[in-house]
Amino acid sequence: MTPPNRTSTGPPSRPADRRSPLLIVSLAICVGTLVGCSSEETAAPDHIFLVTIDTLRADHTEFLGYPAQTTPFLSKLAEESVVFTNAYSSAAHTTPAHASLFTALYPDQHGARENGQPFGRKVDTIASVLQGRGYRTAAFSSVGFLEGLQFGFDHFDAFQRGASIYRPADDTLDRAQRWISEQKDRKPLFVWVHLFDVHEWSTVRQEDRIRLKDIEVASELSIGQMQEFLREEHGMSTGSGSTEEQRVRGIDSYNKRIVLVDNELQRFFRTFQESKKSGDSLWIITADHGEGLFSHNYKGHGLRLFREQLHVPLLLHSTRGFGSGVRIESLARHVDILPTIAELAAAPLGKTQGRSLVPLITGDEQPDRDRTAYAQRKPVVSQKEGSEPTPEEMRTVYDLRYKYIFDSRAGEEFYDLTADPLELENLIENPPPAELKRFKDELDAYRRVFDRRRVRGAKVSEETKAELRDLGYVE
Ligand SMILES: [Zn+2]
């Protein structure tokens, strides 16, 4: 691993630099830039890619400590990228998580609270902000139900259901590649690619068997050592409902799909870099949320707000070398990604819930251990026999040391993340009082912000509901 070096690499021409007389007087500097020929525009990356790998837990990537070769390509890329080791989603469910990533707002503010739900109001998104900055914007989603997030995209290619229920990574990436090669002018591109293969780890389909049959997940650990790792450091529970053999087999299936996606991403990345289009590009690679994978006796995602549900990988790779080799432990949130892109692309941005990560990368801002993250669960309505349906609420606020969860049904939880990173021992009966108050106050502050302008979600179409049922979501 290249040692972090915060002084040798700066961001690509930050706003102050753009006023340099040299940049202003010489049109020659515009040769080779695809954004345009004003001095201001030379600051932006030529192309920006956002890759979301659905359901990828951060701790299943090698570059964040998984003891097997799940991500050979991304691990290599990570050595030349900024790696955020503590990056978190705002929701453990696909549509709200993506919507928060795109808008730097929380689900109560953009209105896309559950799968298939479009934004509830007009919002700035990564796509619309970059579109306004002169980028041509395109999305390639491996499912159809994210179509409600298409605001700001010039081209939105969502999977259309047919014989299969999602589009495999190679197909989605091929379509993106084709679209890119069809763009013959020099306009800068923003491309979002959503890959769904890892999400489907627990299903067995013939076409997936064929695609996965030659994939191996190499590890130096013996089977026994891996099982011990999964129990002690991954949080794999010993609870009822499955045998350890079944759990390990399930996790192996999950890992193989990560390798598959990693291979396909390598192909996509290299093809683009070797193409005439390449110029300089910025790649942001993350996941929408994590996965239970038997931690806390839970396989899936969406209903819980534990670490395994919210902790996601986050890489920022600039072909200019910005931040190459820097690892940042400060809390980084999905809501920080839009402000970060806006700063790097020198695009104007209104008020959001996030803040740019650029100063952390350059070292202009020191790590702030009191910085907190917020997440909320999708809406759930419970109904006891003979009583009215009751909307349930689950929200969490945390920093790198403590985590508070408010669950209107099951009560409160409080975790000491230093002593208990897997969030197994609820300290709510005997918490550090000042800390508990700090987190409760902070959650109240979030609620007050949301209450000022709570956005109702738009209706989910019948077609989308049918797709979600086919994908196994319980509606
Ligand atoms: Zn998802």
Q: Are residues 339 and 413 in the same domain?
A: no
Q: Are residues 147 and 236 in the same domain?
A: yes
Q: Using an 8 Å Cβ cutoff, are 330 and 360 in contact?
A: yes
411: left (phi over 0), alpha (psi -120 to 50) or beta: left
pLDDT greater than 70 at residue 38:
no
How far, in Å, is the centroid of ligand 1 from the Cα of 198? 9
How far, in Å, is the centroid of ligand 1 from the Cα of 187? 31
Confidence of residue 461 (pLDDT cuts 50, 70, 90): confident
How far, in Å, is the centroid of ligand 1 from the Cα of 437? 32
How far, in Å, is the centroid of ligand 1 from the Cα of 289? 6
How far, in Å, is the centroid of ligand 1 from the Cα of 362? 31
How far, in Å, is the centroid of ligand 1 from the Cα of 196? 8
Per-residue pLDDT at 272 = 94
Q: Are residues 279 and 311 in the same domain?
A: yes
The reply to whether 218 falls in a domain is yes
How far, in Å, is the centroid of ligand 1 from the Cα of 17? 39
Average pLDDT over residues 130-143: 97
How far, in Å, is the centroid of ligand 1 from the Cα of 220? 30
pLDDT greater than 90 at residue 17:
no
205-219 b/e with 16+ CB inside 10 Å = b? eeebeebeeeeebeb
pLDDT, tens only, 302-338: 989 999 999 999 999 999 999 999 999 999 999 999 9
Overall pTM > 0.85: yes
Q: Are residues 385 and 301 in the same domain?
A: no
How far, in Å, is the centroid of ligand 1 from the Cα of 305? 14
Average pLDDT over residues 174-182: 97
How far, in Å, is the centroid of ligand 1 from the Cα of 288? 5
Q: Using an 8 Å Cβ cutoff, are 299 and 250 in contact?
A: yes
How far, in Å, is the centroid of ligand 1 from the Cα of 20? 44
Per-residue pLDDT at 400 = 95
How far, in Å, is the centroid of ligand 1 from the Cα of 201? 12
Confidence of residue 283 (pLDDT cuts 50, 70, 90): very high
Burial class of 397 by CB neighbour count within 10 A (0 to 12, 13 to 18, 19+): buried
Per-residue pLDDT at 278 = 64
Output the domain CATH number for residue 449. Answer: 3.30.1120
First to last CA, the chain: 45
Q: Are residues 340 and 390 in the same domain?
A: no
How far, in Å, is the centroid of ligand 1 from the Cα of 94? 3
Confidence of residue 43 (pLDDT cuts 50, 70, 90): low
How far, in Å, is the centroid of ligand 1 from the Cα of 80? 27
Q: Are residues 195 and 143 in the same domain?
A: yes
The reply to whether 69 falls in a domain is yes
How far, in Å, is the centroid of ligand 1 from the Cα of 64? 20
Per-residue pLDDT at 23 = 27
**Calpha distance 232→236 (Å, rounded):** 8
How far, in Å, is the centroid of ligand 1 from the Cα of 346? 30
Average pLDDT of the residues of the chain? 87
How far, in Å, is the centroid of ligand 1 from the Cα of 149? 14
Q: Are residues 336 and 442 in the same domain?
A: no
Confidence of residue 139 (pLDDT cuts 50, 70, 90): very high
473 — phi, psi (to 5°)?
-75, 135
Supply the DSSP symbol for 97.
H
- For residue 107, the enclosing domain spans 17-362
Confidence of residue 263 (pLDDT cuts 50, 70, 90): very high
Q: Are residues 413 and 340 in the same domain?
A: no
Per-residue pLDDT at 452 = 83
Q: Are residues 127 and 227 in the same domain?
A: yes
The last residue of a domain, from among 324, 341, 362: 362
pLDDT greater than 70 at residue 9:
no
Q: Strand 189-195: give its sheet, edge to edge.
A: 155-158, 136-141, 189-195, 47-53, 281-286, 314-318, 82-84, 327-328
Per-residue pLDDT at 13 = 36
How far, in Å, is the centroid of ligand 1 from the Cα of 285? 14
The reply to whether 427 falls in a domain is yes
Per-residue pLDDT at 44 = 79
The reply to whether 6 falls in a domain is no
How far, in Å, is the centroid of ligand 1 from the Cα of 43? 33
How far, in Å, is the centroid of ligand 1 from the Cα of 61? 17
Confidence of residue 21 (pLDDT cuts 50, 70, 90): very low
Q: Are residues 196 and 325 in the same domain?
A: yes
Average pLDDT over residues 8-17: 33
Q: Using an 8 Å Cβ cutoff, are 145 and 119 in contact?
A: no
Q: Are residues 351 and 412 in the same domain?
A: no
The last residue of a domain, from among 339, 362, 385: 362
- How many domains is the chain built from? 2
Per-residue pLDDT at 474 = 55
The reply to whether 179 falls in a domain is yes
The last residue of a domain, from among 362, 390, 424: 362
Confidence of residue 368 (pLDDT cuts 50, 70, 90): confident
How far, in Å, is the centroid of ligand 1 from the Cα of 242? 24
**Calpha distance 80→324 (Å, rounded):** 4
